[in-house]
């Protein structure tokens, strides 16, 4: 959609639109950031057991993913032809937005000895973001949620969570 059409739909002049969003990429990033904040606020507030990093890490990846896939605007932003959306999805601003919501959880799990003590919360959120982007990529987009869950549990959770010897088989 051309910026002139966006300005018309927003009932503002093009110069006003460009004052706040100098490029199409800036506008797309602002839309994505607003959605990201809303989603992560809902997800963190709705965690089934926020004290358990095993279940929470899975929810922090899969719940936003299901919310993303359920909304037409989100799907439009993910289309490969949308260069601005693709660039915005890889923005550090999204990692920082997610870190505002997820960082305190990671830190509380660290203090409780539930995740590795050398885990850097911001870097951990970068990994969560990267996994999320992977799971919405064309290679994974149509995979069943059960396969995405298995991937997150097998690789991401194991990398973050301290294994309790009582949980080990045998």
Tell whether the model's pLDDT for residue 79 goes beyond 80.
Answer: no
Closest CA to 137 of 71, 78, 70, 61: 78
Do the Cβ atoms of 32 and 88 come closer than 8 Å? Answer: yes
* pLDDT recorded at residue 115: 96
How far is C-alpha 43 from the chain's CA centre? 10
Confidence category of residue 57, pLDDT binned at 50, 70, 90: very high
Please report the pLDDT score of residue 35 as a whole number: 83
d(CA 154, CA 131): 12
Q: How confident is the model at residue 28, as a pLDDT?
A: 79
Residues 22-48 have pLDDT tens digits of: 888 888 788 888 888 888 999 999 999
């Amino acid at each position: 959609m051309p910026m002139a059409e966006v300005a018309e739909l927003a009932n503002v002049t093009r110069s006003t639109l460009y004052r706040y969003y100098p490029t199409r990429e800036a506008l797309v990033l602002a839309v994505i950031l607003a959605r990201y904040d809303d989603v992560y606020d809902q997800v963190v507030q709705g965690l089934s057991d926020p004290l358990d990093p095993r279940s929470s890490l899975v929810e922090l990846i899969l719940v936003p993913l299901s919310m993303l896939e359920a909304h037409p605007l989100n799907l439009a932003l993910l289309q490969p032809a949308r260069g601005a959306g693709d660039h915005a999805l890889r923005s550090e601003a999204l990692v920082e937005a997610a870190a505002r919501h997820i960082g305190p959880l990671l830190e509380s799990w660290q203090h409780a000895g539930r995740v590795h003590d050398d885990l850097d919360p911001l870097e951990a959120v970068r990994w969560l973001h990267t996994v999320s982007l992977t799971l919405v990529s064309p290679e994974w987009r149509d995979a069943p949620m059960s396969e995405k869950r298995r991937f997150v549990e097998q690789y991401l959770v194991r990398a973050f969570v301290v294994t309790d010897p009582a949980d080990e088989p045998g």
